[in-house]
Amino acid sequence: MAMSTTFPVQEVLQLFQENRAREAWIDYDEEADVLYVNFQRPVPADHSEMDENNTILRYQGERLIGFTILNASKRRAAQVE
């Protein structure tokens, strides 16, 4: 039996492509419904901003080093099977 889940695939893929990321660390806090994606560890962000989709983008200088998706399970998502 295939298991189904939803995931903001398009949004995550776009950020990977824009930042030429090859690897990431992903954490999901189910209680807070927050998805954390980091392109490096540790994550020493020196500033952040929230975009129009309520995604927090974290930067070190001009370089995007990670992002946080708020209300992750409620986002319009692609079906993954």
* Tens digit of each residue's pLDDT (9 = 90 or more) over 4-47: 344 456 666 777 777 676 777 889 999 999 999 888 777 689 99
Domain count, the chain: 1
As a dihedral over the C-alpha atoms of residue 68, residue 63, residue 46, residue 49, rounded to 10 degrees, the angle is -50
> Is residue 80 situated within a structural domain?
no
Tens-place pLDDT, residues 48-58: 999 887 889 89
Work out whether strand 47-50 and strand 34-38 pair parallel, antiparallel, or are unpaired.
unpaired
**pTM of the model as a whole:** 0.68
Give the structural domain span for 57. 5-75
Q: Tell whether 68 is covered by a domain.
A: yes
